[in-house]
A and B are shown apart, each in its own frame.
Chain A
Amino acid sequence: MNPIDTSRRAFLGRTAAFAGVALAPGVLLYEFAAAREAGQEASAAVRWGMLVDTTRCASGCTACVDACNAEHGVPKASRPTDAQWIRKVELKDLRTGAVRSAPVMCQHCAEPPCVDVCPTGASFKRADGIVLVDRHTCIGCRYCMMACPYKARSFVHEPTTGQKTDTPRGKGCVESCNLCAHRVDRGEKPACVDACSAAGHRAIVFGDLNDPSSEIALRVRSVATSQLRADLRTDNGVRYQGL
């Protein structure tokens, strides 16, 4: 990181502290990570992640899935070959009968197997930890789909219509959850996170795992969380609580 960035960061820090003082005492405002300015690139100091609290996730609720489909213009999956960026999974412990429900999507691994196997470099990890497919370089070979332990990626088999400006998508490429990179870049949370809150469950926390004062970092530090297939040591950005 160059010195200009450092001082800017420090300046922003001071401004934020000052703003905190200026606000009414006793009122603590959690300002969500600010939007990057136009022209600023994604920072390697940040690691975006999500924490899914399975004790709050309601069985049968598909608010996150519906919001994801709407945000990205992905039609609701009706056939096994349809694209699916996020899906609800129900787990039942056969001995105790305990049922857990949770959304599963790209886990945004720190060591993503999809990136390792991609022959063209289309699968890549952005500096801030978001794992993406560059559809301009994707040749549709689907190695990444084979490599992904979480079945998080889909191949688009048919021509697409009704694309959203922020989510171009088309036939012949692999796609998956992009952690709503376009929303995150303007300082918002992913669509599934907002939808889960709006539905009253607040089961998904989004934030910067590297920022010790962020809600997600506090939670990950204070409660037992797990990563899916932690044995593979992919170091997922998506964590689960209560599994």
Chain B
Amino acid sequence: MRVMAAGLLALALAGAAWAGSRAPVLDAPRGEKCVEDAATMRRSHMDFLRHQRDETVHRGIRGARHSLAGCVECHANAKDGAVLGSPSHFCQGCHAYAAVKLDCFECHASRTRAAQAGRQARSP
């Protein structure tokens, strides 16, 4: 399943160069570099996240490189501060395209800390 999805994804990314391709155009991330190189991230981000999850929740390790909160801070949309919401939002965009369900954000905040604070400031 993983190999197939990765294969599809490789096709998709190769397809991006094609005119008329439906490959997603994702929100530009903040900063210059990801926590690993982009190819490694594309292939292995789910493994990093799962490993980090146990390290943080069970062993209490904070400030780690593969933190999910960290992904959101860098990959959120510059205007609404979210990684979900439209086909160009970073996590949703690629996941909808690759048809991989992403349920982390049923619990995890899908918006940056700043965006959360902003909304609170605006709500009565």
Contact (Cβ within 8 A) B107 A135: yes
Contact (Cβ within 8 A) A165 B69: yes
Query: How far is it, in angstroms, between the C-alpha of A37 and the C-alpha of B62 when the chains are bound?
Result: 8
Contact (Cβ within 8 A) A41 B60: yes
Write the A118-136 contact mask toward B (1 if CB under 8 angstroms, else 0): 0000001011100010111
Contact (Cβ within 8 A) A41 B57: no
Interface residues of B in 30-77 (CB under 8 A from A): 53, 55, 57-64, 69, 72
A229 contacts the other chain (Cβ, under 8 Å)?
no
A2 contacts the other chain (Cβ, under 8 Å)?
no
- Number of contacts between A and B (CB, 8 Å)? 61
A168 contacts the other chain (Cβ, under 8 Å)?
yes
Interface residues of A in 98-131 (CB under 8 A from B): 124, 126-128
Least distance between A76 CB and chain B CB atoms (Å) = 15
Contact (Cβ within 8 A) B59 A168: no
Given A165-B72, A170-B106, verify A127-B59 contact (CB < 8 Å): yes
Least distance between B14 CB and chain A CB atoms (Å) = 34
Contact (Cβ within 8 A) A132 B57: yes
Given A163-B108, A165-B113, A168-B107, verify A127-B60 contact (CB < 8 Å): yes
B116 contacts the other chain (Cβ, under 8 Å)?
yes
Contact (Cβ within 8 A) B116 A36: no
Query: How far is it, in angstroms, between the C-alpha of A42 and the C-alpha of B59 when the chains are bound?
Result: 6
Name the residue among B63, B64, B107, B108 with the largest chain A CB count within 10 angstroms: B107
Query: How far is it, in angstroms, between the C-alpha of A150 and the C-alpha of B58 when the chains are bound?
Result: 23
A9 contacts the other chain (Cβ, under 8 Å)?
no
Given A38-B64, A163-B108, A165-B72, verify A134-B58 contact (CB < 8 Å): yes
On B, residues with C-beta under 8 Å from A are: 53, 55, 57-64, 69, 72, 106-109, 112-113, 116, 119
